[in-house]
Amino acid sequence: MKKEIVVIIGGPGTGKTTIIDGLLANGYCCYPEISREVTLQAKKEGIEQLFLEKPLLFSELLLEGRKKQFSNALKEPHNVVFLDRGIPDVLAYMHYIGDSYPAFFDTTCRENKYTKIFILPPWEDIYIADNERYENYEQAKLIYNHLVETYQKYGYNLIEVPKDTVDNRILFILGQIN
C-alpha cells in the first residue's frame, strides 16, 4: 500500500477537528490544525489577533507549519496520515481577505502534493463561534468557496463528506481510502 497523506478541509465550524479527534481515538495518525497554536503564540507575544493585524506574517507561519507537517507525514511509519487542513488553505484564506502573497506560497502548494482531499460543506446546525473563530456563518460559506476554488486550481479532486453523525462521516472517509 502506498503512503496516503489525507487532508480534511472545510470552512470554520464544519466539524474538521471533531473528525480528526475521532480518527485519533480510533488509532489513526493525525496532525492537528496549527492555526490556533500560531494564534495563541502571538497572543503570548502581545498580538491579540495575528490573522487580522498581520495577515501575511500569520500566513507565512501557517505555510511553514503546514509544510513541516507534510514533511513529517511523509516520514511517518503509518500508511495513512490525516491532516486537519493543508497548505492550499493558506492561499484560500489570503484570497478570502483579498491579500496578495509572495510567489513561494504558490510554489509550496505545487511542490507538496496530498493524496486525497476531503471537504466538509458549510453546516449551519453545527456551526459555533468561539474565541479563535471570529467568522460568522455567512463568512464561513465564502471561505468554503475559496477553499474549493484554490484546491481545484492545484488539480485536486475534492471528496465531499456528507452531513451526518461523526461516526458515519469517519466511516465515509475511511471507505474512500481503503
| Contact between 90 and 66 (Cβ < 8 Å) | yes
Which residues span the domain enclosing 91?
4-177
150: Cα separation from own chain's centroid: 12
Of 89, 82, 4, whose CA–CA distance to 38 is shortest?
89
Specify the CATH number for the domain of residue 169. Answer: 3.40.50.300
| 147: confidence class by pLDDT, cuts 50, 70, 90 | very high
| Contact between 80 and 62 (Cβ < 8 Å) | no
Q: Is the per-residue pLDDT at 165 higher than 70?
A: yes
Q: What is the Cα–Cα distance from 19 to 14, expressed in whole angstroms? A: 10
Q: What is the Cα–Cα distance from 25 to 42, expressed in whole angstroms? A: 30
Half-sphere exposure of 21 (CA within 13 A, CB side): 5
Q: Is the per-residue pLDDT at 175 higher than 90?
A: yes
* pLDDT tens digits, one per residue of 36-62: 788 888 888 887 777 777 878 889 999
Of 146, 132, 4, whose CA–CA distance to 88 is shortest?
146
Highest mean pLDDT among 44-48, 93-97, 169-173: 169-173
Number of domains in the chain: 1
* pLDDT tens digits, one per residue of 101-145: 899 999 999 999 999 999 999 887 876 766 555 667 788 889 999
What percent of the chain is predicted at pLDDT more than 90? 65
Average pLDDT, the chain: 90
What's the pLDDT at 132? 54
Would you state the cell numbers that stand for residue 7, as one nine-digit string? Answer: 487532508
pTM: 0.90
- What's the Cα-to-Cα distance from 119 to each of 3, 52, 75, 104, rounded to whole Å? 20, 25, 25, 25
| Contact between 30 and 72 (Cβ < 8 Å) | no
122: Cα separation from own chain's centroid: 14
Q: What is the Cα–Cα distance from 56 to 52, expressed in whole angstroms? A: 10
Does 56 or 91 have the greater pLDDT score? 91
What's the pLDDT at 134? 63
What's the pLDDT at 178? 64
